[in-house]
Amino acid sequence: MDFDALEEEARAKLAAPSFAFCATGADDEITAAENVAAWRRLRLRPRVLRDISNVDLSVSLLGTRAAMPIMVAPMGRHRLFHKEGECATARGAAAAGAPYVLATSANVPLEDVAAERGDTAQWFQLYMWPNRREIEALIDRVAAAQFRALVLTVDNQVYGSSPRQMRAPFVPSPDIRNVNMPGAPMARTAYDPEFKGKVNFPTTWRELEWLIKRAPMDVIVKGVLRGDDAVRCVELGAKAVIVSNHGGRHLDTTVTTADACAEVVDAIASKAEVYVDGGIRRGTDIVKALALGARAVLIGRPVLWGLATSGADGVQAVLVHLRDELIRTMQLCGVARLAEITRDLVAR
């Protein structure tokens, strides 16, 4: 699979505002581009003369066995890319054996997504807002639908600005709604002009502490780029953190996730799990992330390209392609199990 060609196929198929929403980064899109480049700057130091005839990709994520260390990142508004929305994404992820993180801003009921789960774990990404009764009601729905964990996103207290989206403005449609949110509001993008300069409900350590106590499942914090923040998340009870800069979509010129990963791992790896997203496009990128200490990676934009072009089959094809590249890279690096992917396999 050629991801460059797949992206162009998605561009040709989608309405301009939908593609812009998928592709854009904030401001000058420096971080969005550097996320990809940072993984490519790392170099592999392969071992030789190892038995790599049987490769095992299985991994434990929060105590649940997964077929591979590749997950689908939380991304909202999938009906902008395919008529079946998140149901198609979940079905494709399950077919590939990849855990799926469903976004709060999904366009289909979370129970319908859960029905597509099969034997593959699903997590639920959560944004906080002021009315705790509404949040509690949503958490209880998530628990009843047997999602394995809550993923609290903390890195977009203020929405970013996207010149690319402003050149192809998105007009909300009554047919596409964030149906799991109170009142099922029309799906608007984070770059809506009415959001400019508006502070979202400020999620603080206090809200994280409350959520960990209230949630009947594990809580993960997404959007961590610093070791000291990761330590405090874990001290409050978070079971994992996701090293992420939101794909460069809100704050431009942040440190890349490839550059932040090792610091976060070194700070908390003995106490909690670490995952990473942002710019991962190759099996070689995945091996580098695992070598830095991440337990798994999350894939964003390429999944949407697959969804836009071929629905569930396209999502599955993207994930299977990355799985196959991961296997080949491991073999060429002389490792047959994930535990053998250690930091000495990478050099800067």
Active-site annotation, residues: 246
Element (H, E) at 179: none
What is the DSSP secondary-structure string of 92-123?
A: HHHHHT--EEE-TT-SS-HHHHHTT-TTS-EE
CA within 13 Å, CB half, 57: 25
What is the DSSP secondary-structure string of 42-85?
A: SEE----S---SS-B--EEETTEEESSSEEEPP---GGGT-TTT
How far is the C-alpha of 38 from the C-alpha of 44, rounded, in Å?
13
How far is the C-alpha of 250 from the C-alpha of 159, rounded, in Å?
6
Q: Which two tokens stand for residue 43?
A: 């170099």
- Sign, CA torsion 181/183/186/192: negative
> How many Å separate Cα 90 from the centre of its chain?
13
Q: Looking at the DSSP assignment, which residues form a beta bridge with residue 150?
A: 124, 219
AA identity, residue 199? V
CB neighbours (10 Å) of residue 42? Answer: 19
AA identity, residue 240? A
AA identity, residue 121? A
Q: Which two tokens stand for residue 96?
A: 């590939």
How far is the C-alpha of 216 from the C-alpha of 208, rounded, in Å?
14
Nearest alpha carbon to residue 149 among 242, 57, 250: 242
Q: Are 140 and 151 in contact (CB under 8 A)?
A: no
Q: Are 61 and 121 in contact (CB under 8 A)?
A: yes
